[in-house]
Amino acid sequence: MTETMDTTTSTTPKQPQISEMFSKFALAFKTKTFEFFADEISDADEGFSLLDSAEDFIPDQKVIILKPDQPLNQNQELLAQQELTVKKSETQIKHLNIQLANTLISSVFAKVSSFEASYLQLQIAHVPFNEENIKVADKASVSVLQRLSDLKQVYRDMCKNPDSDDDLPIGSCLEAQVEENQSKLRILGTVSNSLQAEIDKKDCEVSALKKKLIEVQKSNSLLSKRLLSSLNLNSEVLLTVKVFDSVLNDACRTTHKFTKILVDLMRKAGWDLDLAANSVHSDVGYVKRGHNRYAFLSYVCLGMFKGFDLEGFGLESDGEILCNGHDSVSVKSNSALKQLLEHVSSNPMELLSRNPTCEFLRFCEKKYQELIHPTMESSIFSNFDQNEFVLNSWRSLGMFYESFVNMASSVWTLHKLAFSFDPVVDIFQVERGVDFSMVYMEDVTGRCTMPGKTRLKVGFTVVPGFKIGRTAIQSQVYLCGSTCTE
């Protein structure tokens, strides 16, 4: 009898080794099986004649040995332990690589922070120039760069041999974090010291300026007393057309500035500027787009100069006598000049805070109420955050408030100067539709010429004019029908 044993196939994995007792049992079972089939063949010669025939022989016949089910707990535990050991080994290698990578990255960041701190100290050592500090900072920077180069070599070694167990000179993550934090503290300390040095320098400058301011104030006080004691002598210097024209130009400049801020606030509040300009001066044919700003400038100027011909600027009762056209007595002139000198010797903002009952404060309150009525104020300031301003009359916005006070101060100064003259300076404005006169009028745009024989008409007065004795300071007007020359 031929026996063919096929214990392995191409798709079946290799079986693990069995115990010695189980091997003996399999060998005994195999021997008994051979003896059993041998006895059957010898007892029945005819029954197996077909098996002796070469024609009916099955060459690839396999003898299948059925193995009894036996408990394989020990083998399974062994396999599981082997697999667990392999997995643990792979996990340890991966964990080791990740840990090295994290440590390397932390070290790189730490070294970069150290270089930043060293380089910052190197920069600061140049201003002011300190040779010793420059050498120390330069040496520290080069040392950090060298350590960065060493880390680069460590990274290359890790890429070549990632499973290497050799100790690498990069420390730990915690050490790198400590080094990075220390570098950041060095940077903050350097910046803090630099800022503190600047603060100390500014404090010294402020102290010096305060001392200088005190000296200037004392000097101004002495000069003011000398001026007040000799008004008759100084009036010849102050009461001239040139001085009045200079103060008028300053008043016009501050009025322009306030008007620009007011128009910007109106635009931000969503106002139709063309419609608003038409409500100030209706049916004006503006030569150029954007010239409606002269209407707002006229509104502010004429409002601020309203009551200029009154000695108290309209702050007193309605029965106040007009001074224009009448010779003022020397007492009133000296009083106005004294008020002028007192006013110009003080800052207008400080004057309001120092003396809340002065005439100048009442003048500011009155003019603000005339220019910015409550409805207009509410519309302009309605879109502002309550934290950005305080709704307290004309002290609503810092820049708006300061600009208004400066404008009011310049007009107030001009009024006191006008009433210091003898006779008092006259003020005039041109009505709409009047023919243009180069003697008493000036084109406010400064870019228009008379087109041939066309007679230009006054659209509206922007800045009033003044007469000092026989001298006239022209009124600035906006002309209708003019052509612009760019």
**Could you tell me if 302 and 446 lie in one domain?**
yes
- Mean pLDDT calculated for residue range 45-64: 44
Would you say residue 54 has pLDDT above 60?
no
Please indicate, yes or no, whether residues 296 and 384 belong to a single structural domain of this protein: yes
Question: Residue 331 pLDDT more than 90?
Answer: no
Are 273 and 395 within one domain?
yes
Q: Is the pLDDT of residue 394 over 50?
A: no
> Are 173 and 314 in the same domain?
no
pLDDT digits (tens, 9 = 90+) for 178-225: 888 888 888 888 888 888 888 999 999 999 999 998 888 888 777 766
Q: Note whether 61 and 88 are same-domain residues.
A: no
Task: Give domain status of residue 26, yes or no.
Answer: yes
* More confidently predicted of 128 and 391: 128
The pTM (predicted TM-score) of the whole model is 0.51
What value does the mean pLDDT of the chain take? Answer: 75
370 lies in which domain range? 238-484
pLDDT: is 203 or 170 the higher one?
A: 203
Last residue in a domain, options 25, 41, 70: 70
For the stretch 265-283, pLDDT in tens is: 888 888 999 999 999 999 8
57 and 139 in a single domain? The answer is no
- Indicate whether 383 and 335 sit together in one domain: yes
Position with higher pLDDT, 175 vs 232: 175
Tally of domains within the chain: 3
**Prior bond of 423 cis (ω within 30°):** yes
Contact 423, 326 (CB under 8 A): yes
Please state the rounded mean pLDDT for residues 427-435.
92
- Rounded CA Rg of the chain: 52
Q: Which helix (H) or strand (E) holds 472?
A: strand 471-473
Residue 108 pLDDT more than 60? yes
CB 257 within 8 A of CB 407: yes
Place of tokens 């002269």: 294
Reading the block at residue 248, the tokens are: 């008028």
For residue 384, the model assigns a pLDDT of: 58
Q: Nearest CA to 312 among 419, 194, 437, 173? A: 419
Is residue 222 one of the residues assigned to a domain? no
Same structural domain for residues 184 and 55?
Answer: no
Higher pLDDT, 236 or 388: 236
| Residue 364 shares a structural domain with residue 475 | yes
| Integer Cα distance of 279 and 212 in angstroms | 51
Angle between helices 359-371 and 398-418 (to 10 degrees): 120
Which SS3 state, helix, strand or coil, does residue 59 take? coil
The answer on 242 and 190 residing in a single domain is: no
Of the pLDDT bands very low, low, confident and very high (cuts 50, 70, 90), residue 337 is confident
- Which range (56-60, 227-231, 345-349) has the least confidence? 56-60
User: Same structural domain for residues 104 and 58?
Assistant: no
